[in-house]
Structure 1
Amino acid sequence: MSTTAKEQGSTRVSRRRDRRKAEIVRTATLVLAEAGYLGMSLEDVAEKTDIAKATLYHYFSSKDDLVAAALESLTQEVLRRLQEREEAVGQSSARDLLAALIDEQVLILTETAPEVAAAFSWPRSWPESFEAPMKDMRRRHDAVFRRVVERGVAEGEFHLSDINVTLQCLHGILNQSSVWLRPGAYHGDQAEARARIVESALRMFG
């Protein structure tokens, strides 16, 4: 077999492995969102992925390794969505950009990826080893909104007594939106409801 053929074969194997790994992570994310950390088991993930439990260990060394991958995948997806929304808005005022980001975050939590809210809503069940990684995930998420808010303050568009407190309140509103508009619980116009949440949240920024 030529070197090129070997490389192509290796690449195909690598792609299959990456696809299977991503599939396992997606399944683990759904199980985690439904059952929480304590209720999640590798047996459930293996069964729902239609693979043997032993096969999981070819990809992840432990339950915590798999959970960490699932949480990081969720974080990356949220950050990607927020970046795309920011790019779609283009040149705009800090207020308009913040409104778009708030709307996108609520959309993620309530419609397009409600598993994000569910997976991060089990604070008491997480082992101590996840404290630092989850803190870093929240920091990266906060940075997206903080950058816009700091710009608004610098340009005189926002008037805040304490940026940190205001951002904490904003995150509280965003997190609570997943309860207010959770799938199956809210039967009104979702877009209109999001618009009301965005409008209310923006009042904190003056």
Structure 2
Amino acid sequence: MPSRNGAETAERDSDKPGASRLSRRRDRRKAEIVRTATELLSSYGYQGMSLEGVAERTDIAKATLYHYFASKDDLVSAALESLTEEVLTRLDARRRTVSDASATEQLRALVDEQILILTETAPEVATVFSWPKSWPELFDEPMKDMRRRHDAVFRTVAEEGLRRGEFNCSNINVALQCLHGILNQSSVWIRPGVVADHAALRRDVVDCALRLFV
């Protein structure tokens, strides 16, 4: 724990002219490093991603990376958390656009948004989380937690639909597992060169997914 004098010094430093500018610059550089690490994870998986590769792509010395992240695993953790938060933020924003609608329409919006994320707006999400055998054990629990947080978004709406009598599924856990399976496969079904009309196929996938509940 920092000493009282140390805390006071940090507070004085933050009040100095230019301190916020330096902080913003550091935050931008840190975000750039995380984005680069995510790109490498998406392309090569955990084993293929290296601090040397991140340093080269961001055009900074490898030693400089240690000013931001203590290790490769620290950086990978930040990249995974950043992706998770991005997905959760997008899902929350999409759900809020239909917050007054039925549970069916809310679930439809969430499923549609998730497929958009995986196939168009952030396809790296699908590829990063599709390397199950390459992750060290230390990521087992964090990734389980990320999946639980993601599942909770859909589960909340599914449970509300059951309470309202809109949904009729005998086992919500099975239905949600099947839903996640459909979502995961959507990045395989809807990709460049496979079908011309992505929007139409996405609607079909959403309709099929909703039949698990309605």
Structure 1 distance, partners of 2:55, 2:134, is 22
1:52 has 2:46 as partner: no
* Identical pairs, percent: 67
Structure 1 counterpart of 2:196: 188
Displacement of 1:4: 9.4
Displacement of 1:7: 2.3
Cα offsets for 1:149-189 (capped at 9, x unmatched): 0000011110111111110000000000011113x233311
Structure 2 distance, partners of 1:5, 1:109, is 40
RMSD of Structure 2 on Structure 1 (CA): 1.4
5+ long unaligned stretches in structure 2: 1-11
- Would you say how many aligned residue pairs link Structure 1 and Structure 2? 203
TM-score if structure 2 supplies the norm length? 0.92
Contact 2:14 2:20 in 1 (8 A): no
Structure 1 counterpart of 2:213: 205
Structure 1 counterpart of 2:4: none
Displacement of 1:9: 1.6
Structure 1 counterpart of 2:161: 152
Structure 2 distance, partners of 1:168, 1:92, is 24
Structure 2 counterpart of 1:108: 117
**Matched letter for residue 196 of structure 2:** G
Q: Which runs of 4+ in 1 moved over 2 A?
A: 3-8, 184-187
Displacement of 1:6: 5.3
Contact 2:108 2:210 in 1 (8 A): yes
Structure 1 distance, partners of 2:129, 2:120, is 16
Cα offsets for 1:98-150 (capped at 9, x unmatched): 00100000000000000000000000010000000000000000000000000
Displacement of 1:11: 1.1
Structure 2 counterpart of 1:69: 78
Structure 1 distance, partners of 2:14, 2:22, is 12
Structure 1 distance, partners of 2:14, 2:176, is 54
